[in-house]
């Protein structure tokens, strides 16, 4: 990136970062930050409209300078939502932070999401039917974060109305009650109230919606609100804001091994390989944070070859369709298709993104959507649309791997809780994974 582009980026981000930092500073400070810059200084650095993100050379030198007698407070592995969130949080607390990402920021799962900032209506349903207080708390916290993300990055996110079509009166009552509960759980973090629209009104709001599906005629729809965001840009925003706050942030730099202190058996740093120059160097840190997403087991393996994996990968595919498939500014979500899955169509950059969720997968560097998954989405949405759905309309498709943390008692990936896991199974190496984009900030506290 050229210096001017970085500068322009910095100015835009500084606006977003202001909100983040103000909130972060209201938290209690943690031990060991007494020698870092004061919160006021960090805040003015982030809010300085002329601030320039230091060059790649400077970032790398800062990582190299962190030697055994002068270690960083935290070295973060992974530049997705989780890693960049951790780095920003730690840097704004005045800690000395480094972050390395082997590809580009947000090249992993964080740029392959549905781009919703949501509490998770489905998790609310589970909470109610399983009387699961844990799930309910999850939804509650996610709804709080939903509002916070929109407040922190208003230039990259917005509230989005989503329509749930109902094809019998039971569905009308069921979804209306369910979405009113969603409003209720949101409380003062509510975006807008949900409401029922008649079949006629629904057709006006969503002209491509079928008036009949599976031989049943449309009875109406319940429209509710969630947030939508620009995931990859928000991620890059977090990385650059962390850099403005003083973190040494380097992309195209991979952790290839971990450094262990023989006496204490503690992880005290990592060997890093700069993939643009081929140069290798060591960076020392008091704590190494493993935020490698679906790859966090391969990082844990660097600490111990025989470690039990904790990631239960689950893939999700999205396709992009032409704009006329859905109206601008309104999404369509079908919570239960004929085979019980979720399908949705959301407006995105003047086009329509359609997708589903969850199928078991293996972890690969560049996950690719399978033809049968694309067909499944087309099949599922065609039941609910009055336009002809054709394979040739698919403009692009992508697949992402959810870094779900394993719960040994779970039966399939859909029943694994979306909550995050933070564990230190090796002294000095903290692994943080799971969760949702929406709650990236919460994972840090």
Ligand X SMILES: *[C@@H]1O[C@H](CO)[C@@H](O)[C@H](O)[C@H]1NC(C)=O
Ligand Y SMILES: Cc1cc2nc3c(=O)[nH]c(=O)nc-3n(C[C@H](O)[C@H](O)[C@H](O)COP(=O)(O)OP(=O)(O)OC[C@H]3O[C@@H](n4cnc5c(N)ncnc54)[C@H](O)[C@@H]3O)c2cc1C
Residue 255 in the binding site for ligand Y (CB under 6 A):
yes
Q: List CB contacts of 137: < 8 A, sequence separation 6 or more.
A: none
Residue 86 in the binding site for ligand Y (CB under 6 A):
no
* Residue closer to ligand Y (CB basis): 165 or 400: 400
Residue 110 in the binding site for ligand Y (CB under 6 A):
yes
Length of the chain: 445
Residue 316 in the binding site for ligand Y (CB under 6 A):
yes
* Contacts to ligand X by CB under 6 A: 65, 67, 69-70, 156, 230, 233, 275, 278, 349
Pairing of strands 359-360, 314-321: antiparallel
* Residue closer to ligand Y (CB basis): 110 or 148: 110
Residue 436 in the binding site for ligand Y (CB under 6 A):
yes
* Residue closer to ligand Y (CB basis): 166 or 253: 253
Sign of the C-alpha dihedral computed for residues 405, 156, 37 and 243 taken in this order: positive
* Residue closer to ligand X (CB basis): 49 or 68: 68
Question: How many Å apart are CA 142 and CA 133, to the nearest integer?
Answer: 14
Which of ligand Y, ligand X, none lies near 156, with the C-beta cut-off 5 to 8 A by kind? ligand X
* Residue closer to ligand X (CB basis): 154 or 322: 154
Among 36, 71, 80, 165, binds ligand Y (CB under 6 A): 80
Residue showing tokens 């999205």? 318
* Residue closer to ligand X (CB basis): 74 or 139: 74
If you ran DSSP here, which 8-state letter would residue 366 be given?
S
Q: Specify which residues 396 forms β-bridges with.
A: 320
Which stretch, 31-39, 184-192, 204-212, 289-297, contacts ligand Y (CB under 6 A)? 289-297
Query: What residues between 344 and 363 interact with ligand Y by CB under 6 A?
Result: none
Which of ligand X, ligand Y, none lies near 233, with the C-beta cut-off 5 to 8 A by kind? ligand X
Residue 256 tokens, joined = 């290839």
Residue 144 tokens, joined = 């709080």
Residue 107 in the binding site for ligand Y (CB under 6 A):
yes
Question: How many Å apart are CA 357 and CA 370, to the nearest integer?
Answer: 13
Q: Please give the backbone phi and psi of residue 61, each rounded to the nearest 5 degrees, phi first.
A: -60, -40
Residue 100 in the binding site for ligand Y (CB under 6 A):
yes
DSSP assignment of 109-173: GGGSS--EE---HHHHHHHHHTT-HHHHHHHHHHHHHHHHHHHH-TTTEEEEEEEEEESSHHHHH
Are 416 and 404 contacting, i.e. CB atoms less than 8 angstroms apart? yes
CB of 24 to ligand Y, least distance (A): 18
Residue 291 in the binding site for ligand Y (CB under 6 A):
yes
* Residue closer to ligand Y (CB basis): 42 or 81: 81
Question: How many Å apart are CA 149 and CA 19, to the nearest integer?
Answer: 9
Helices (H), 163-230: 169-186, 199-205
Which of ligand X, ligand Y, none lies near 260, with the C-beta cut-off 5 to 8 A by kind? none
If you ran DSSP here, which 8-state letter would residue 438 be given?
G
Contacts to ligand Y by CB under 6 A: 77-83, 100-103, 107-110, 112-118, 254-255, 291-295, 299, 316, 400-403, 433, 435-438
């Amino acid at each position: 990136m050229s210096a001017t582009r970085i500068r322009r980026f910095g100015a835009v981000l500084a606006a977003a970062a202001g909100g983040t930092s103000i909130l972060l500073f209201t938290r209690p400070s943690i031990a060991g930050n007494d020698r870092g810059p004061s919160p006021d200084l960090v805040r003015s650095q982030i809010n300085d409209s002329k601030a320039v993100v230091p060059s790649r050379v400077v970032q790398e030198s800062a990582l190299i300078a962190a030697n055994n007698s002068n270690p960083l407070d935290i070295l973060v592995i992974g530049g997705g939502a989780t890693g960049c969130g951790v780095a920003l949080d730690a840097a704004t607390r005045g800690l000395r932070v480094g972050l390395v990402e082997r590809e580009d920021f947000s090249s992993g799962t964080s740029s392959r999401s549905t781009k919703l900032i949501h509490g998770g209506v489905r998790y609310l349903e589970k909470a109610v039917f399983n009387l699961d207080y844990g799930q309910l708390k999850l939804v509650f916290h996610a709804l709080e974060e939903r509002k916070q993300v929109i407040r922190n990055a208003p230039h990259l996110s917005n509230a989005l109305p989503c329509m749930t079509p109902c094809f019998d009166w039971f569905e009308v009552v069921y979804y209306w009650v369910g979405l009113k509960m969603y409003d209720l759980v949101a409380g003062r973090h509510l975006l807008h109230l949900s409401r029922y629209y008649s079949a006629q009104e629904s057709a006006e709001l969503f002209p491509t919606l079928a008036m009949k599906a599976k031989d049943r005629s449309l009875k109406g729809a319940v429209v509710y609100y969630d947030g939508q965001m620009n995931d990859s840009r928000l991620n890059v925003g977090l990385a650059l804001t962390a850099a403005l706050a003083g973190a040494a942030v380097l992309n195209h730099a991979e952790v290839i091994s971990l450094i262990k202190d023989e006496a204490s058996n503690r992880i005290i740093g990592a060997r890093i390989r700069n993939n643009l120059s081929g140069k290798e160097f060591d960076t020392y840190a008091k704590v190494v944070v493993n935020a490698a997403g679906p790859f966090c087991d391969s990082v844990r393996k660097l600490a111990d070859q025989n470690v039990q994996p904790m990631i239960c990968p689950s893939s999700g595919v999205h396709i992009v369709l032409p704009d006329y498939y859905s109206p601008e500014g309104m999404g369509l979500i079908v919570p239960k298709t004929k085979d019980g899955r979720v399908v949705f169509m959301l407006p995105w950059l003047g086009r329509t993104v359609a997708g589903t969720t969850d199928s078991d997968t293996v972890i690969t560097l560049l996950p690719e959507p399978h033809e049968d998954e694309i067909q499944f989405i087309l099949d599922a949405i065609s039941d609910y649309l009055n336009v002809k759905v054709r394979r040739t309309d698919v403009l692009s498709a992508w697949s992402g791997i959810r870094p779900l943390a394993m719960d040994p008692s779970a039966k399939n990936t859909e029943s694994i809780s979306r909550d995050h896991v933070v564990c230190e199974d090796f002294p000095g190496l903290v692994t943080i994974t799971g969760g949702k984009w929406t709650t990236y900030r919460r994972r840090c506290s």
